[in-house]
């Protein structure tokens, strides 16, 4: 057979290119490292499953014992480990592998990714502004209290001057984030929340300085600075959440292939960057690598995992002449492909242009805070202006008093509580989600998630784990189990891995002459007999003829001249899938499956989960169209998917979620990424989103209530600096206290991380307990 020839021909290149691969990985580690001095490098690793003191201890002490490591520091907040190592004493790749051996999946953190910079300059600027505002507010308040409690005129004037001396530089420093934002909005002739804020602060300050130097009666220094202080808290929290959430998702970037191995006549294979790949090149794709661009197989044969690309759950075998899309994973044998595209027009590029188009629609969503600002800002200005005009008429042209009262209106309506209403809730909500293993990228995602009416699930990798699992076997006994496990352990094919995992407790035996035959399976010699594990037809060639049941699918095993054993493999459901679907249906939400897989597989999953609506064999473009049709008919769609083929649909949907196992593109397109295996993350996220929505509305109600009381007083000219200070502080504190209630929120689905493993197993058994028989019957 031709495939066997090509596989033997490729035996040598495979081993040599595997060393190329590890050299390339080492280069990648270097690229992600910061060069300190001499041979010292600092590399940041992202270790997502670091949870507790024991994890930190294991990692830090473990890495410290490596010869090349000179210092390690784990950061639990960012889930990163900063390692300083000496390139003379060892390689950086060893560190990654060592972390893996310790049981932690480590990914590289590339310093060039601006969004995920660990040193967060904008946050620090805000924090410094917050500190300055806090310092000024506390001191000025102290002086103001003495004035209010009845200091004599001379002392009051002195105190006002001192307050002014503190307030003016403090506002100049701490107010910059608001002033720049307000100017930016005004320069494009728009109003945002920062315009009334800046106006109120600046006017209050100017007026107070004027008052201190002239009559010295009343000054609003404390109001101006306290205002800034509270608003900066809101601003900082807002920033913190955005930064952290975005960073958390970005930092999950895997070691994906960003290039390929070029094969040229008469030259040794070399690694080239994705940008250098052009049409017509011959690339070698080794097992475990993804194809960087589209191509046609020219030599070699292998099994190809297209799950992330098309949603197909079974691997397919490929032969010379087969066309492969960019992004497919090569599983068993090395293949050479001729590229049919470069990076700019590959399947991946097509997907990303589809995503851009889809995302433009969602970019128009305006968060509730901004919608409030659009109404609130003009209303406040008009109110202040009307107050001024009204008092001018009433007092017959006393402009000093009229301006004074109009400014009081501006100060009192300043959206202190409003500015805190949304960010505080969102920060606490995001924190609650993170504790439950869900990361979010955008604050408005909470609002969008709360509006959802239809939930569309992808099948492979989302409703299911995307990996096959043994659900039944025939003819496997204690005699051959060890043999099966040993031979399965020599293949990286998902089916072989599943079988090896299935026979976990069995002792292994020694085999010789192990050979992986791409597209067929693995064969080896044991005690002078040939044994094979793989496709049934191929295995049947050596087995006792009578036992061959060629109709059965799955993986077969046989020893020479002995009967065949069969393994039935099935992509198992994601833990908690049934419970999640039941929970969603109970909340009268529409649930459907949108899959790229073939209809038989989709139907089986739909039946297992009790989902009625399903569509199968969908291309990425069809998925987008389906989502858009749903949305046009009035539904708000939550798309849950993981693959490249889902990415455009994730971007098109009203809100989207992806498991952390998703393709990079899928993860970047999703609003929420859940890092735990359980699908009930969907329920948890929705429950918390509903709760945050409720709290935000309560906060707005509180802020409006405050305005209803304070604004008439201000218009009537009854506001003194004392009342302004009390009213503003209380309203802000009430809003913060109300938001804090989210911390006490307990959901039914909360699962402590240490329990996941046992639950996962329990769930696997229960979810597959009766389905295999059903499947075989069907």
Partner 1 sequence: MSHLLILIPLALGLGALGLAAFFWSLRSGQYDDLEGASVRILDEESEDAPSKD
Binding site for partner 1 (CB under 8 A): 52-54, 56-57, 60-61, 64, 70, 74-78, 124, 127-128, 131-132, 135, 138-139, 142-143, 155, 158, 162, 166
Q: What is the 3-state secondary structure (H, E, C) of 14-52?
A: HHHHHHHHHHHHHHHHHHCEEEEECCEEEEEEEECCCCC
Q: Which of 222, 458, 608, 763 is catalytic?
A: 458
How distant, in Å, are the alpha carbons of 548, 558, 561 from that of 545?
6, 11, 8
Do 106 and 47 contact (CB within 8 A), yes or no?
A: yes
Please state, in angstroms and rounded to a whole number, the distance separating the CA atoms of residues 746 and 758: 22
Q: What are the structure tokens assigned to 134, written together?
A: 């806090």
Structure tokens at 626: 């389906």
Q: Going by C-beta distance under 8 Å and a sequence separation of 6 or more, which residues neighbour residue 283?
A: 260, 261, 262, 263, 277, 291, 292, 293, 295, 336, 337, 338, 339
In degrees and rounded to multiples of 5, residue 178 shows phi and psi of: -80, -40
**At 329, phi and psi to the nearest 5?**
-100, 130
Query: Catalytic annotation on 49?
Result: no
Ramachandran category for residue 176: left, alpha or beta (phi over 0 → left; psi -120 to 50 → alpha) = alpha
293 neighbors 326 (Cβ within 8 angstroms): yes
CB-count burial class (<10 Å; 0-12, 13-18, 19+) for 748: exposed
> Which residues on adjacent β-strands are paired with residue 394?
none
- Kindly list the distances between the CA atom of residue 392 and the CA atoms of 38, 264, 389, 411, in Å, as whole numbers in the listed order: 74, 86, 5, 19
A 10 A CB-CB count for 208 gives 24
Whole-angstrom CA distances from 336 to 181, 414, 612 are 54, 66, 43
Compute the radius of gyration of the chain from its Cα atoms: 32
HEC profile for 614-645?
Answer: EECCCCHHHHHHHHHHHHHCCCCEEEECCCCC
Torsion of CA 33, 289, 556, 296, to 10 degrees: 180
Are the C-beta atoms of 260 and 343 separated by less than 8 Å? no
Q: Is 559 helix (H, G, I), strand (E, B) or coil?
A: strand
HSE-CB at 21 with a 13 A cutoff on CA atoms is: 17
Contact 641, 615 (CB under 8 A): no
Catalytic residue numbers, as ranges: 458
């Amino acid at each position: 057979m031709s495939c066997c020839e090509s596989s033997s021909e490729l035996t040598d290149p495979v081993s040599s290119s595997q060393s190329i691969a590890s050299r390339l990985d080492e280069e990648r580690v270097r690229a992600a490292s910061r060069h300190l001095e001499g041979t010292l490098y600092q590399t940041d690793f992202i270790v997502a499953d670091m949870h507790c003191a024991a994890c930190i201890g294991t990692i830090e002490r473990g890495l410290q014992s490596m010869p090349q490591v000179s210092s390690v520091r784990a950061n639990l907040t960012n889930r990163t480990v900063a390692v300083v190592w000496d390139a003379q004493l060892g390689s950086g790749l060893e560190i990654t592998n060592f972390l893996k051996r310790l049981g932690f999946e480590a990914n590289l953190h590339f310093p060039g990714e601006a969004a995920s910079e660990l040193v967060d300059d904008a946050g620090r600027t805000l924090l410094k502004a917050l500190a300055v505002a806090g310092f000024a507010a506390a001191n000025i308040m102290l002086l103001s209290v003495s004035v209010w409690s009845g200091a004599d005129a001379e002392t009051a004037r002195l105190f006002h001057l001192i307050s002014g001396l503190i307030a003016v530089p403090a506002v100049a420093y701490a107010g910059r984030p608001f002033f720049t934002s307000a100017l930016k909005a005004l320069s494009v002739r728009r109003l945002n929340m920062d315009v009334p804020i800046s106006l109120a602060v600046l006017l209050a300050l100017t007026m107070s300085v004027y008052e201190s130097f002239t009559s010295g009666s009343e000054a609003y220094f404390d109001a101006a600075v306290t205002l800034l202080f509270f608003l900066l808290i809101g601003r900082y929290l807002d920033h913190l959440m955005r930064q952290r959430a975005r960073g958390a998702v970005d930092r999950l970037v895997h070691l994906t292939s960003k290039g390929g191995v070029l094969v040229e006549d008469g030259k040794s294979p070399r690694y080239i960057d994705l940008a250098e790949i052009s049409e017509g090149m011959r690339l070698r794709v080794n097992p475990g690598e993804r194809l960087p661009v589209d191509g046609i197989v020219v030599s070699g044969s292998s099994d190809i995992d297209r799950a992330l690309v098309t949603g197909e759950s079974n691997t397919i075998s490929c032969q010379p002449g087969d066309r492969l899309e960019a992004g497919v994973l090569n599983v068993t044998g090395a293949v050479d492909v001729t590229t049919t595209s470069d990076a700019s027009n590959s399947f991946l590029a097509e997907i990303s242009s589809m995503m851009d188009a889809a995302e433009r629609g969602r970019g128009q969503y305006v968060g509730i805070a901004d919608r409030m600002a659009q109404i609130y800002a003009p209303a406040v200005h008009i109110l202040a202006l009307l107050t001024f005009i009204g008092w001018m008429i009433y007092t017959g042209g006393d402009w000093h008093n009229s301006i004074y009262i109009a400014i009081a209106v501006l100060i009192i309506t300043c959206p202190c509580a409003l500015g805190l209403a949304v960010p505080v809730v969102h920060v606490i909500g995001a924190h609650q989600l993170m504790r439950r293993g869900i990361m979010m990228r955008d604050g408005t995602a909470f609002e969008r998630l709360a509006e959802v009416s239809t939930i569309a699930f992808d099948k492979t990798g989302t409703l299911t784990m995307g990996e096959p699992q043994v659900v039944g076997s025939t003819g496997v006994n204690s005699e051959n189990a060890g043999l099966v496990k040993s031979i399965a352990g020599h293949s990286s094919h998902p089916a072989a891995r599943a079988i090896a995992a299935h026979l976990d407790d069995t002792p292994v035996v020694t085999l010789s002459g192990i050979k992986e035959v791409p597209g067929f399976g693995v064969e080896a010699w044991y005690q002078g007999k040939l044994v094979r594990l793989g496709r049934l037809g191929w295995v049947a060639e050596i087995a006792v003829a009578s036992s061959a049941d060629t109709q059965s699918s799955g993986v077969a095993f046989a020893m020479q001249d002995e009967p065949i054993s069969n393994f039935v493999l099935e992509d198992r459901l994601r833990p908690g899938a049934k419970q999640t679907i039941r929970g969603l249906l109970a909340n009268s939400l529409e649930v459907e499956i949108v899959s790229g897989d073939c209809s038989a597989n989709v139907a089986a999953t739909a039946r297992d989960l009790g989902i009625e609506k399903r569509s199968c064999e969908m291309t990425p473009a069809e998925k987008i169209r389906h989502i858009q049709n749903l949305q046009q008919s009035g539904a708000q769609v939550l798309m849950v998917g993981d693959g490249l083929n889902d990415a455009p649909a994730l971007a098109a949907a009203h809100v989207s979620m992806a498991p952390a196992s998703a393709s990079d593109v899928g993860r970047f397109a999703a609003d929420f990424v859940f890092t735990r295996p359980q699908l009930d993350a969907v329920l948890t996220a929705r429950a918390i989103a509903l709760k945050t929505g409720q709290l935000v509305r309560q906060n707005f109600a509180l802020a409006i209530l405050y305005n209803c009381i304070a604004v008439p007083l201000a218009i009537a000219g009854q506001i003194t600096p004392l009342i302004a200070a009390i009213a503003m502080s209380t309203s802000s504190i009430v809003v913060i206290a109300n938001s804090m209630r989210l911390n006490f929120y307990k959901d039914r689905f909360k699962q402590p991380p240490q329990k996941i493993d046992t639950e996962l197993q329990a769930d696997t058994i229960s979810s597959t307990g009766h389905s295999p028989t059903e499947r075989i019957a069907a």
